[in-house]
Structure 1
Amino acid sequence: MVSFKLSSVIALALAGSALNINAAAVGKRDGAAIDKRPSYTGVKAVDNCQSFTDNFDPNTDLHQHWEKMNNASTYSLTSDGLEMKILNPRGSGLGPGSLFSSKRLMQYGFIEAKMKSAPAGGLVTAFIFMSPNGDEIDWEWVGDEVQTAYYYQGIPDFSSADAKALKDQSTNYHTYGIDWQPDAITWYLDGEVYRKVTKESTYKDGEYHYPSEAAHVELGLWDASGSESTAAWAHGPINWSEHPDHVSAHVKYVKVDCYSS
């Protein structure tokens, strides 16, 4: 079994489906050209942040930008990009999966991935920011749902989550982006604004519950069939009789754009 730091995801599953929709199409962004982004002069960059693009061709050196890659049998580089796999556990626990965590932290910036989620209920495909102390900003896919969420210092505030059906997320590639700024988080789907949350809207209990700590970029695929409630949230448990060897999610590329100070 792969160990993930996606604590909020598990907590969300255990808490049920208390979801608060907060989406709006308020603009458009050319997700294919992050080098054309304006400079945010008011944002102080993390010293070790490094912008990069991985196209995940067969010659990509995964160790240049990523760590925590787990067992090599759970991923491969193909002509179609990075294949992340959940392996059939063959009756002995949960299927081992993939986790990729960026070597460098970033504090504010833009990330983007073109990908297809795993085509099986009971599995979670993830593209997220995760900080060492629990600040988190998510794109996640379960069954035919795409979910967005943010969390502050690991507090399980499930009202931050949004879930909508995206019927072809496992059969067709879509481009997903997160624009994380000091005053707002914007999620993009295929270049269109999918959801936006402002820092001002997160104020409660005398403070802003807004993710602001430097974070790693993470890609992951994991088996959520371990408990009844988690499996139900992920539309599982997975039926391994339909998947004799493994189930895969595919990532064409990942782009990371650090903001300049």
Structure 2
Amino acid sequence: MSLPKTPSFNLSGKRALVTGASSGIGLACAVALAEAGAEVTLAARSADKLEATAQELRGSGFKAETMPLDVADIPAMQATVDKAGPFDILVNSAGLAIHSPALETQEEDFDRVSDLNFKGAYFLTTAVAKGLIAAGKPGSLINITSQMAHVGGIDRAVYCGTKHAVEGFTKAMAIEWGPHSIRVNTICPTFVRTPLTESTFDNPERVKWIEEKIKLGRVGEVTDIMGPVVYLASDASALMTGTHLLIDGGWTAD
């Protein structure tokens, strides 16, 4: 009898591009992929923060480079990714939230959020896929969305709309690029303590709402995303594409 072997979580020899990598979930994902053996390229708008993070990773024995990048500047982003690629793994964690009641949404706020969360994410994913297809390589492309990509939320009509949109194009791209062995999935976290969510956690009413909805009785930490991102990036998830991992403490179980 021949026993089956667990597929490898090891990412040695893989190149990973992580956007939004200067803080929060993006930073945690970059660390997780580096720990798994990947050569990680950290991307964000803040060059100083990126270099400090990269130096710390290199000081711990990991492989890390930096790429100052504005995902919402489509032509510049495409040129940068084309020059630096191909990347075997993408983690798109760059994101923006501007919350308000739907009736009070300002067009300029709508555009800022959608230009990064939806349009930028769309063209970043296609830019990385284009490089993989040209090189004849397989890949794993991961978009960080939200539990709000599957439900609604108070004062979050625009944010929810952009995250639902990413779930939609993820499924379509997975169908298109399956023949190239390029997988496209999403990770959907609940409320995680990061600089992006500080204003939410400063609001006692919002905190009460959050704690009532999360069945496990605690909010998310960036470490809760690190295992799932390695899983989706690695051969351990080789048959997963066009779907999502909800890391929401049971929020959407209702």
Tell me if both proteins adopt one fold, taking TM over 0.5 as the criterion.
no
Q: Which has the higher contact order (CA 8 A, sep 6+)?
A: 1
